[in-house]
């Protein structure tokens, strides 16, 4: 199936077009199935989409009471004395989703899920990783690393993290039949969720990711946390391999920072250096992949229309 690239005027138009795609897709799914499973992302890119989608649901365009959702990622190590405080911390992705989407719905989803990162005690995780170095390995060529546990860790805590937190989220998604429609954004180096540049694709289902020092420092510099002791040092995240198993994937990108990774993801070969490039593999296997971009994010793609046509990438200006 070819990859479709829709080029919009600006971020506002991008959100409008993407929301219409998601709404129509959900309507089609709910005609065929009792429930629809929606994959969701955090960040600035999808917020306009979420507001429009909530409005459409509240106006009766589709039945939000027949939808389950799964988010891409969640932090490990947010400040808080217990799980509840970490879950409702203003920087948690759970809090973000309630504020930007779930709280806007008059009729709530059947269930909403985020990766179980808030259940992990970061201090204990760090202690166990230090005490049992034979239980895991770091994978990744850049600063962010995937912490991969061996099949049967000696540490009971690391075994629990692997089985209940990482494998458990994947099992939950599988138990409802997989994700019908996944919404994603694009990181500055072409990453999706916390599948950072350089982390291998193989076995990238649900990952424990060690955040790079620059990400942590920026979180303090941007005012999200008071000191370097507060920001999370880890996250639980879907990897590209799992993201691109959805029935359809809608990718949103706008602005100058996204121009290069968007172009590299379609013009260059598939590479973990640009995790969203895995979408090429997904499309070759029959997946339905739609890019919704503003004019700035699409600028480099427009210069290579002939190359993209040969790669079965269809560009439409909407």
> What whole-number distance in Å separates Cα of residue 74 and Cα of residue 59?
30
Cβ-based neighbours of 307, under 8 Å, separated by 6 or more: 267
pLDDT of residue 13: 98
pLDDT of residue 221: 79
pLDDT tens per residue, range 98-141? 999 999 999 999 999 999 999 999 999 999 999 999 999 999 98
Nearest to 268 by CA among 312, 309, 308, 316: 308
pLDDT of residue 310: 92
Walk across the sheet containing 181-184 and list its strands.
111-113, 67-71, 36-40, 181-184, 248-253, 288-294, 3-8, 313-317
pLDDT of residue 215: 74
pLDDT of residue 142: 80
CATH code of the region 3-117+175-201+235-317: 3.40.50.1360
What are φ and ψ of residue 140, in 5° steps?
140, 140
Asked if residue 181 lies in contact with residue 25, where contact means CB atoms within 8 angstroms, the answer is: yes
> What whole-number distance in Å separates Cα of residue 160 and Cα of residue 258?
37
Asked if residue 113 lies in contact with residue 163, where contact means CB atoms within 8 angstroms, the answer is: no
Cβ-based neighbours of 204, under 8 Å, separated by 6 or more: 146, 195, 239, 240, 241, 242
Q: What is the mean pLDDT of each run of 10 residues along the chain (318 residues)?
A: 94 98 98 98 96 98 98 94 93 96 98 97 96 97 90 97 98 98 94 94 95 78 79 95 98 96 97 97 97 97 94 95
pTM for the complete prediction? 0.95
């Amino acid at each position: 199936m070819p990859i479709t690239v829709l080029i919009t005027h600006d971020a506002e138009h991008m959100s409008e077009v993407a929301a219409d795609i998601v709404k129509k897709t959900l309507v089609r799914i709910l005609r065929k199935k009792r429930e629809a499973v929606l994959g969701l992302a955090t960040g600035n890119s999808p917020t306009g989409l979420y507001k429009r989608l909530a409005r459409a649901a509240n106006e009766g365009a589709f039945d939000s009471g027949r939808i389950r959702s799964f988010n891409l990622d969640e932090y490990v190590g947010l400040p808080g004395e217990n799980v509840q405080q970490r879950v409702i911390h203003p920087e948690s992705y759970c809090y973000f989703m309630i504020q930007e989407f779930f709280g806007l719905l008059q009729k709530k989803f059947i269930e909403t899920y985020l990766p179980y990162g808030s259940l992990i005690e970061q201090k204990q995780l760090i202690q166990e990783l230090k005490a049992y170095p034979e239980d895991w390995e770091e994978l990744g060529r850049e600063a962010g690393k995937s912490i991969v546990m061996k099949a049967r860790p000696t540490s009971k805590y690391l075994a629990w993290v692997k089985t209940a937190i990482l494998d458990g989220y994947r099992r939950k998604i599988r138990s409802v039949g997989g994700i019908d429609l996944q919404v994603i954004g694009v990181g500055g180096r072409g990453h999706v969720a916390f599948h950072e540049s350089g982390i291998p694709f193989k076995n990238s289902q649900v990952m424990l990711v060690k955040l790079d020092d620059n990400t942590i420092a920026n979180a303090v510099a941007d005012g999200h946390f008071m000191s370097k002791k507060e920001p999370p040092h880890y996250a639980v995240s879907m990897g590209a391999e799992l993201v691109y198993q959805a029935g359809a994937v809608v990718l949103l990108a706008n602005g100058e920072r996204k121009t290069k990774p968007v172009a590299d993801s379609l013009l260059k070969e598939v590479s973990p250096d640009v995790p969203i490039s895995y979408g090429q593999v997904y499309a070759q296997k029959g997946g339905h992949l739609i890019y919704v971009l503003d004019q700035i994010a699409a600028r480099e793609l427009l210069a290579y229309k002939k190359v993209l046509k040969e790669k079965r990438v269809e560009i439409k200006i909407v």
